[in-house]
Copies of this chain bind each other. A is one copy, B any other.
Amino acid sequence: MKKPRVELVCVGSELLAGKVNTHAASLGIMLADIGLSIAREHTIPDDRNVMRQTFAEALRRSDVVISAGGLGPTFDDFTRDVWSEVTRRPMKEDTALAADIREKFRSRGLDMPPANLRQALVLKGANPITNKNGTAPGQFLTMGRKTLVLLPGPARELFPMVESVVLPGLRRRFQNRHSRLKSFLIAGVPESRVDQMIRPLVDRFQIIDGCDIIHGILASQSLITVKFRVEGTRRSTVDAVTRRVAGAFRALLKDIAVGEDEEKMENIVGALLSRRKETVALAESCTGGLVAKMLTDRAGSSVYFLEGAVTYSDAAKTRRLDVPSALIKRRGAVSEEVARAMAEGVRRSGRATYGVAITGLAGPGGGTKAKPVGLVFVACADPDHTYSKQFTLNGDRSWIRQRSAVMALDLLRQSIIRRAR
Contacts and interface: CB of A to CB of B under 8 A. Distances in A.
Interface of A: 13-22, 24-26, 28-29, 32, 37-46, 50, 54, 72-76, 110, 113, 115-116, 133, 135, 154, 156, 181, 190-193, 195-196, 199, 202, 214-220, 229, 263, 282, 284, 287-293, 295-297, 299-302, 305-313, 315-316, 319-320, 349-351, 363-365, 394-399, 401
Nearest to A398: B297
6 contacts: A16-B25, A17-B28, A305-B312, A307-B310, A315-B351, A320-B320
Given A13-B214, A292-B310, A302-B313, 6 more contacts: A17-B37, A21-B24, A113-B193, A115-B192, A299-B365, A306-B312
A196 B15 CA distance: 22
Given A291-B289, A299-B364, A364-B299, A25 B32 contact: no
A85 to B, nearest CB: 19
Given A76-B215, A312-B306, A41 B40 contact: no
Contacts of A350: 316
Contacts of A310: 282, 289, 292, 296, 307-310
Given A202-B75, A299-B363, A398-B297, A24 B15 contact: yes
A19 B220 contact: yes
Provide the main secondary structure of the chain A interface.
mixed
A216 B14 contact: yes
A365 B76 contact: no
Most B-side CB within 10 Å, residue of A32, A133, A310? A310
Given A73-B195, A291-B289, A293-B288, A312 B307 contact: yes
A17 B25 contact: yes
